[in-house]
Structure 1
Amino acid sequence: MDRIHREDGRDLLTRAIGPGVVVWGVIVGIGFLITGPLSAIDRREDSVAAAFNRSRTDLWDGITDVWSRVGNTEIIIATCVVVTAVLLWRTRDWRFSAVPAIAISLQATIFVLATHTVGRVRPPVLPEDPSPPTSSFPSGHVGAATALYASFALLAAERIERTWLRRLVIALCVTLPLLVTYARLYRGAHHLSDVVVGIANGLVCAGLAYGWYRHRARSSGSSTRAKVHSAVG
């Protein structure tokens, strides 16, 4: 058992954390390009933020406030904890159940390190939310929502047998991060490239977490079959 746990940790390091370092480097590189040699992008995106600012209405202010909260840290963590508990109860597979937690943890680590490294200022518009103590690039709300719900979608595609329910869950998991993305742009929290890179960060982290699970599931299955074969032989 200890050997299996060591292999789980080693594979997590090589298949998720290691690649995550590369993802962080790519994101930081993009951020430095946007705030440096490609600063013209920054100026063009200011006009996009201004357009969202001019389009605000009381109705959409209220709607986007709800959508934005879907990506709040406390909501992401609470949703992850509840769904993980349900998955563990239903499947008794701790690796399968841990995928969302690994995805959002990896995403959050990359986001925090990248945003403090790049330090991009937020759009020059009137924000509708208090700015968190991080810079604009990349979007943490969008990255967290994408990582969480993309991991849910991957797990749903694998385990939900009823076609209509599987499609419904996947559609919901695709929609929610997009709503968060629109809300963060509308409410003046981010530039367009901030949310695009946030989506990419979330998708990659979900994929890395799920890839770790699939590899460990195959390895554990092969190990179990080998032990049975040896015992029978």
Structure 2
Amino acid sequence: MDRVHREDGRDLITRAVGPGIVIWGLIVGFGYALTGPLIGFSREEEVVNKDLAGQRSSTWNTITMVWSHMGNTEIVIGVCVLVTAVLLWRTRDWLFSLVPLIAISLQATIFVIAANVVGRPRPKVSHLDPAPPTSSYPSGHVGASTALYLSFVLLASRIEHAWLRWSVTVVCLLVPLLVTYARLYRGMHHVTDVAVGMLNGLLCALLAYGWYRHRAREAGKLSTREKAPALT
């Protein structure tokens, strides 16, 4: 069993952490370009933020506040822990159940280091949310919600009932889009901030799920979909 766990850990480093370092490097490189050679493009981006700020209303301020909070660290962690516990209870497969946790952990590590290295200022409009200590680029809210809910979409293939599988998929794809719009509307990020944040979350979810698929195949658990324990 110890040998199996060591192999799981080595594969995690090779298939998720290693590629994550490459993703971090690319994100930082693009961030430096936005704050350097592409600074003119960065200023032009703020037209979107100013247009959205000019269309604000009390109703949409309230709605987007809720959407924005869905990407808050405490919400993302809470949902992840709850769903991970349910998955482990239903499947007894700890590799499968850890996918969301790995996805958001990898995303958060890339985001925090990149944001502190790049240090991009937030858009020059009024901010409707408290500004966290990290910089504007990339968006942590969008990255975290994308990593979490896309990992749910990938795992939802194990749900037996088609109507439930599709319902979960649609809702989980919708949440990151709502968070993205809210963060733009509330003046917290530029368009490239949320785009790179979403890409970061997407790639981290795929890396986490790819690690699981590889380890499951190695263990002979996923040779066919019918052999995998189903979620109902």
Structure 1 counterpart of 2:190 = 191
1:174 and 1:85 map into 2 onto residues whose CA distance is 21
| Secondary structure, aligned partner of 2:145 | helix
4+ residue segments displaced more than 6 Å:
none
Structure 2 counterpart of 1:126 = 126
5 Å-filtered alignment, 1:118-197, equals 118-157=118-157, 159-197=158-196
Between 65-74 and 39-48, the greater mean CA deviation after superposition: 39-48
Structure 2 counterpart of 1:68 = 68
Q: Residue by residue, what CA displacement relative to the aligned partner does 1:46-101 show, whole Å, maximum 9, x if unpaired?
A: 11111111010000000000000000000000000000000000000000000000
Structure 2 counterpart of 1:212 = 211
5 Å-filtered alignment, 1:44-55, equals 44-55=44-55
1:43 and 1:4 map into 2 onto residues whose CA distance is 51
1:2 aligns with 2:2: yes
1:198 and 1:161 map into 2 onto residues whose CA distance is 32
Structure 2 counterpart of 1:229 = none
2:41 and 2:93 map into 1 onto residues whose CA distance is 46
1:95 aligns with 2:95: yes
1:179 and 1:72 map into 2 onto residues whose CA distance is 13
| Secondary structure, aligned partner of 1:138 | coil
1:221 aligns with 2:224: no
Q: Residue by residue, what CA displacement relative to the aligned partner does 1:170-227 show, whole Å, maximum 9, x if unpaired?
A: 00010000000000000000000000000000000000000000000000118xxxxx
| Secondary structure, aligned partner of 1:221 | coil
Letter in 1 for 2:144: A
Letter in 2 for 1:131: A
Higher helix share: 1
Structure 1 counterpart of 2:59 = 59
2:40 and 2:55 map into 1 onto residues whose CA distance is 24
Structure 1 counterpart of 2:201 = 202
1:40 and 1:197 map into 2 onto residues whose CA distance is 18
Question: How far is the alpha carbon of 1:40 from its aligned partner?
Answer: 1.6
Question: How far is the alpha carbon of 1:161 from its aligned partner?
Answer: 1.5
1:63 and 1:41 map into 2 onto residues whose CA distance is 30
For normalisation by structure 1, the TM-score amounts to 0.94
2:183 and 2:46 map into 1 onto residues whose CA distance is 14
1:41 and 1:89 map into 2 onto residues whose CA distance is 49
Q: How many residues are aligned here?
A: 221
1:14 and 1:133 map into 2 onto residues whose CA distance is 31
1:135 and 1:44 map into 2 onto residues whose CA distance is 19
Letter in 2 for 1:196: A
Question: Could you say which structure has the larger radius of gyration?
Answer: 1
| Secondary structure, aligned partner of 1:148 | helix
Structure 2's unaligned 5+ residue stretches are 222-232
Q: Residue by residue, what CA displacement relative to the aligned partner does 1:110-155 show, whole Å, maximum 9, x if unpaired?
A: 0000000100000000000110000000000000000000000000
